[in-house]
Structure 1
Amino acid sequence: MVRAYTRREYIKKIPGSKIVQYDMGNLSAEFPISLSVAVKAPTQITHNALEAARIASNRYMQRRAGRMGYHLKIRVYPHHIVRENPMATGAGADRVQDGMRKAFGKPVSTVALVKKNQKIITIETNKKNFKDAKEALRRAAMKFPVPCRIVIDRGEELVK
């Protein structure tokens, strides 16, 4: 895994994160069951993918469990700034292109550096909405560029 490129005081024009909220649903209630999406390999997850997963899972849970029937939390933050060295294409590109000379690149996106088995999204809910929460996390896992698994953190005895 690479060292995070996060020193924002040295970087100009950092692209903003598209993640709107990190906690959704009923924030005050205590729920007996907690499920999470955990990644199977170390990877980088962009802020776009995190926001897409948040929207997909939150929308599904809102329709199925209602606004007060769950608590969804995004557990990672995209700190790492990704750079890109844009390459020119087309006729005459070799005259205007420097190739790999001065190839530091410009900031294009932010990503969350995620380790193996790290939990990305957690949904807390009750027994009635367990299957809906599992489906919401499955839909969220589809948005990530890495294989994921759904883990029951708390309340496994209530589900069986």
Structure 2
Amino acid sequence: MSDKPASMYRAIDKPSYTRREYITGIPGSKVAQYNRLSANRRMLKELGEEGDYKMILRKFPHQVIRENKQATGAGADRVSDGMRQAFGKIVGTAARIQQGERLFTVWCNPEDAHIAKDAFRRAYNKISPPCTVRVERGEKLLVA
């Protein structure tokens, strides 16, 4: 199956379809698997099994993408149903993300920040829209 252009899904003009229990055969998420694994593997390799960091995936692909496949060629009008019962077959999942939103967040020691930046640089190469890594300095942990 060929990849669809991003212009088909770029504009968020409808509310999210929330009745996932009616849809069967939803494929698993690839962003949750490959991007998270590549970043986490890099952090574990550099910081070790007892590494002092915490990473979360903030945006998970919940939106189900459907496609009403149309028959083409000779005799297609006899085979296809047109727009009758045009719910569509599931072709994938997507996350609704606005520009500037965070996908991943990691909390680590300040001396390990360059390792986290490199881990996310490797992870965002697997994501289709252009991403940037932004480092923010947090509050000091107060222990009483």
Normalising by the residue count of structure 2, what TM-score does the alignment of the two structures yield? Answer: 0.72
Q: CA RMSD in A?
A: 2.4
How far 1:91 moved relative to its partner? 6.1
- Whether 2:87 is the aligned partner of 1:75: answer no
CA distance in 1, matches of 2:125, 2:97: 16
Which residue does 2:26 correspond to in 1? 15
Q: 1:107 to 1:129 in 2, by over 3 A?
A: same
Q: 1:87 to 1:66 in 2, by over 3 A?
A: farther
- Structure number with higher relative contact order (C-alpha < 8 Å, ≥ 6 residues apart): 1
- Whether 2:67 is the aligned partner of 1:56: answer no
CA distance in 1, matches of 2:77, 2:48: 57
- Whether 2:109 is the aligned partner of 1:97: answer no
CA distance in 1, matches of 2:103, 2:69: 31
How far 1:59 moved relative to its partner? 1.0
Secondary structure class of the residue paired with 1:154: coil
Which residue does 2:114 correspond to in 1? 131
How far 1:95 moved relative to its partner? 3.5
Which residue does 1:28 correspond to in 2? none
Secondary structure class of the residue paired with 1:124: strand
Structure 1 unmatched runs, 5+: 18-46
- Note if contact 1:83-1:106 (Cα within 8 Å) is conserved in structure 2: yes
Aligned to 1:146, which of 109, 114, 129?
Answer: 129
Higher strand fraction: Structure 1 or Structure 2?
1
Query: Deviations along 1:89-143, whole A, 9 cap, x unmatched?
Result: 6665454223445432123332221111110111221133221110111111111
Query: Deviations along 1:49-97, whole A, 9 cap, x unmatched?
Result: 3321111111111111112322111111222121122344666545422
The alignment-based identity, stated in percent, is: 41
Asked which structure has the greater CA Rg, the reply is 2
Secondary structure class of the residue paired with 1:107: strand
CA distance in 2, matches of 1:57, 1:147: 17
Which residue identity does 2:92 align to in structure 1?
Answer: S
Which residue identity does 1:68 align to in structure 2?
Answer: E
Which residue does 1:3 correspond to in 2? 15
Which residue does 1:30 correspond to in 2? none
CA distance in 2, matches of 1:82, 1:149: 26
Which residue does 1:107 correspond to in 2? 90
